[in-house]
Structure 1
Amino acid sequence: MSLDVKVTGAEELGALAKRLKTAGSGKALRKELLKAIRTGAKPALADTRRAVRAIPVTGSRGGGRRQRERDRADKALDQVYKRIDDMDWDSFVEAEQKAKDRAKKNTGLRDTVARSLRLTVKTGSKSARVRIEVDSAKIPEGMRTLPRHLDSEKGWRHPLFGDREHWYSQRGRPWFASTIRRHLPALREHILKAMDDIAAKIEKEG
């Protein structure tokens, strides 16, 4: 389950990548470019994680201690997301991890899916993209179809604690592509600006 951001100006990005190979500080500038793109994508990633955590899954049983644990985790992470514009990518990752460590880890479905989301960046001329995706390796094998179920109002049916004599229906709501698409215009603008900044630095070296 993934959504690609098709980078406007992909050919220009490919040309920039070639110039970085011959620039004196090419490796450092490429690293700077990737970091800038990740920084621009972090609001989309954070908002998508927040969206899946906020889904009111109907038909499930729960509450009490487990619900309080989830609430504490959500509140801790919300404090990080409120400060997102003041942090670069590395600071965001560090702050998010600290918030998770402070709150008792929640092993519920929504939090499992939220923690599985990751950001990948490619800068090749034919494959330039930013991708937000579910890392299935971070989801238990028997739960790997559930991110899609959570993204659907139709939901799914499952046995209660493995008891196939008693089945329960649960419904989700759109949270993945619908959330990411709201960020696409700003993200594309950020990527183009990052490209211009790096190109200007290469020109100065020349």
Structure 2
Amino acid sequence: MMTGGGPPFNLGVETHEGLAALTRAIRAEADGKQLRKELAKSMREALKPGAAEAKSSIMSMSSAGLNTAPALRSSVARKIRPEVKLGGRWSGARVKAFKTRNVRNFPNAPKRLNRPGGWRHPAFGNREIWVQQHGKVDWFDRAFEGREGVYKAAVEAAMENMARRIADRAG
């Protein structure tokens, strides 16, 4: 799933080709820019339940320690959102946990908290003593487990609706 660096599910070759064809058809329309925005919005809306599930998963992680400001779990949760790109090097839809810059000097928190190996850091700022720390393993991946098909179908339905709208205009 997310451990490979990609989205939690793949849209598939036929869907990617369909998305590219749909994007080309939208560009050909007079109000293509508006249609493109609507398609991206509907695809993001389709993934919002998955993002909410991932946010809930990180917020359920236990918290301990002396350093409580700024709150790590809520900072990571705020950085989880659906992402849609139509065109360019990568086209598709995914839920992504973005880096947490300026949060406890820990920009890779979403990635490290999801890793089975955890992360190493100096104990209380003492650079001579390092400790290994583990988060809630696979909190991001487990949020989508068993529901990949639901989100994929919702994104494809948004694409189908837009394709139908364009086809109705032409016919």
Q: In the alignment, which residue of structure 1 is the partner of 2:10?
A: 6
Q: In the alignment, which residue of structure 2 is the partner of 1:142?
A: 105
Identity %: 29
Once the two structures are superposed, residues 61-108 of structure 1 have per-residue CA deviations (whole angstroms, 9 ceiling, x without a partner) of: 259xx6xxxxxxxxxxxxxxxxxxxxxxxxxxxxxxxxxxxxxxx722
TM-score norm. by structure 2 comes to 0.77
**Runs of 5+ unmatched residues, structure 2:** none
Confirm or deny that 1:162 pairs with 2:125.
Answer: yes
Q: Is the 8 A contact 1:53 1:111 kept in 2?
A: yes
Higher alpha-carbon deviation: 19-28 or 34-43? 19-28
The CA RMSD measured in Å over matched residues stands at 2.9
* SS of match in other structure, 2:105: helix
Deviation for aligned residue 1:44: 1.0
**Equivalent residue in structure 2 for 1:33, among 29, 35, 39:** 39
Q: In the alignment, which residue of structure 2 is the partner of 1:99?
A: none
Q: Is the 8 A contact 1:155 1:171 kept in 2?
A: yes
* SS of match in other structure, 1:131: strand
Total equivalences in the alignment:
163
Once the two structures are superposed, residues 119-141 of structure 1 have per-residue CA deviations (whole angstroms, 9 ceiling, x without a partner) of: 32122387332133332263448
Q: Is the 8 A contact 1:136 1:144 kept in 2?
A: yes
Instruction: Return the structure number with greater helix share.
Output: 1
**Equivalent residue in structure 1 for 2:76, among 108, 113, 119:** 113
Q: One-letter code of the match for 1:202?
A: I
Q: One-letter code of the match for 1:61?
A: G
Q: Is the 8 A contact 2:93 2:155 kept in 1?
A: no
Q: Is the 8 A contact 2:99 2:110 kept in 1?
A: no
Deviation for aligned residue 1:185: 0.7
Taking a change above 3 Å as real, the CA distance of residues 130 and 26 of structure 1, as seen in their structure-2 partners, is same
Deviation for aligned residue 1:197: 1.1
Q: Is the 8 A contact 2:100 2:110 kept in 1?
A: no
Deviation for aligned residue 1:117: 2.2
